[in-house]
Structure 1
Amino acid sequence: MDRKKVIVTGGAGFIGSALVRHLVLEQEAEVVVIDKMTYAANRANILPAEATGRCQLIIADICDQAAMREIVSREAPHQILHLAAESHVDRSISGPRDFIETNVIGTYSMLEAARAFWSGLPAGNTKDTFRFLHVSTDEVYGSLGADGLFHETTPYDPSSPYSSSKAASDHLAKAWFRTYNLPIVVSNCSNNYGPYHFPEKLIPLVILNALEGKTLPVYGDGSNIRDWLYVEDHARALSLIATQGRLGETYNVGGRNERTNLQVVQTICDELDRIAPAEAPRRELIEFVKDRPGHDHRYAIDATKLETELGWKAHENFETGLRKTVQWYLDNQEWWAPLRKSVYGGERLGLNDPQKV
């Protein structure tokens, strides 16, 4: 049997690279990574996969429809796993245009490239088994109250430019399935964490600031709640959904690990104090700062559909996953130190700037 060939857009980013490593190292698939290599992408993230000879990187912009059509046609994949996206809420607040272009126009471009390729396949097994997985976020559902969970049928109610752009892309994917019968599946995940996470996000930012003795900013009173999912568990789920998910369906992926932001920061402090003690407890570095505009209060995923239909289950709980994550950052300073010096040094993002569009 021919080895499975997969295109992964955004494959040099955080979640994308975890998926690439899973596909290449654990499933022995052949993977073509399409990535624009913006600030959040890193070639080092996929070096273990490239070393096998079964992974190649194509540096290209998914908004370039002609290029995407040519690449998809030439590479003739069995699956397209579409993860390329601008994904940081704070950056979407200060500069929404990039989010509209990449997340909406870029998704349209990939859908059309996939449709042109798939439509041209001869009838038979290859055409019948082709899949396009559109990877999205739980933020499209808006904010939960104290009770309840996000289900696949939860109405969309996005709050930020980021989540609005992802909601639009989700609707495009579903429309291409209903209108053109393109074999599409959609996934919506909760907050990811783990190795190779760009240090603008909460968990890596707090780990690195704490290691350097800098203040640990917590928005508002720290009561905002997220459901945390270890990135390698997410990668396994995505591969499973792409292969076995029902066409036209949505699958929510969550870790069942709800924590307030303050609890997350405190847990990181305690874990670092345990394995790399400092002169004073790192909880003393916590500083409450002005809240993010439009900050959703609570996200929580019900992953029952994924668990019961496809048999997926998270391997890591929050404590075990965070322990692995903290240790990875301690062991991989050569990965994050250059980023802190030249790409992002930990400054506050997401402040309203009317000059940026």
Structure 2
Amino acid sequence: MTDAIAPSRLRAALVTCSELPDLDPDDVPLIGALADRRVAATPAVWDDPTVDWGAYDLVVVRSAWDYAPRRDEFVAWARSVPSLLNPADVIAWNTDKAYLHELAERGVPTIPTVWLDPERNLSARAVHTRMPAHGDFVIKPTVSAGAQGTGRYESGDATERGLGIRHALDLLAQGRHVMIQPYQHAVDTVGETGLIFVDGRFSHAIGKRALLSGPYDADDASLYVREQLDSATATAEQLAVAEKALAVAAEVLPAAVKPLYARVDLVPDAVGSPLLIELELTEPSLFLGFDGDAVDRFADAIALRALRARVS
């Protein structure tokens, strides 16, 4: 790949947030790998007013994990940045989990979801009737990152059900749309599988178990919820669901949009069939350290995009 890059040095910004100004550790090896490909890559905080985004051949969103409370500002920033990957149209669509409703309507197997709209001014009783009558369930805002604002509740426990109602009402009172989903217990046993794609091609997979054990606690909120991680092997059925999700997203998004990266998070349903939890196209961890060639694959894709941006 190195010989294919023009002698003049290309420049790429790897976008992060102020809490991780030097990038998440998983992305740090990209800097050296890109240098080997004649691309000078530097971390850049997305809301730093001193950054000259136009000075870069390519801007790649990575660990910008603090955007959720300022989603409109983040989308506006994305629309102002030239040569952004993934591009602003993707970010605008993918930063609100309402996209899952679109995917489900087009045949992608997803977790059944009840959607609550703040404009309906729902009462506590109305929220109560929309919660599952049996089993555990999860409440979360449609705009969040890293499981922020998310809680798990037991439907048969009156105290926890009350906490769930209060959680939902608090989110709605803030003008936030809310999702209620049955908790998928396979997360506790089999765990989730994340399938990572680079330039539309499958790269590698990881297994993870989210540490979502109980009701939401605002005093315990952090940038993201830590997970237990391991490498994984994607099954043919998982790959089929992931590719279906990406194909449907390509139908919904503008034709010219070609995502540089994607992570498709799946969990088995009660009979073992994969369900989509999230299609991460904005700022997903790609868990590059869990596959020996993943950094090189991603660096190759970035370098090629940067070269194309330079000559276009």
Task: Return the structure number with greater helix share.
Answer: 1
Q: Same fold (TM over 0.5)?
A: no
Q: TM-score, normalised by structure 2?
A: 0.32
Q: TM-score, normalised by structure 1?
A: 0.29
The answer to which structure, 1 or 2, has the higher relative contact order (CA under 8 A, 6+ apart) is 2
